[in-house]
Amino acid sequence: MTTQTWNVMNKHRIAAITEVKLKHCPAPTYKPPADVRSTMTCPKCGGRLAFTVSSQTGISTGRCNSVGCVTWSAQ
Ligand SMILES: [Zn+2]
């Protein structure tokens, strides 16, 4: 994997995490009131990206349906 590819992947991953956090982790607690298990449109491929957010920790994990696309854990 080239550095350029990594940067592009990272950019989309950050965009996805930011969207999840803005929607589900508002101030002042930065945690959702209940565990979130949902899907969003993948910012990279436009496919379905499934994610979860813990109400205990506010930590999210997500993965796009497309192989080798956006994925993250414990962010
Ligand atoms: Zn994707």
Query: What pLDDT score does 9 carry?
Result: 64
Q: Residue 32 Cα, ligand 1 centroid: separation in angstroms?
A: 24
| Residue 13 CA to ligand 1 centre (angstroms) | 9
pLDDT tens digits, one per residue of 20-72: 999 999 999 999 999 999 999 999 999 999 999 999 999 999 999 999 999 99
Q: Which residue has the higher pLDDT, 1 or 53?
A: 53
3-state secondary structure of 15: helix
Helix, strand, coil % in the chain, rounded to nearest 5: 30, 25, 45
Residue 8, pLDDT > 60, answer yes
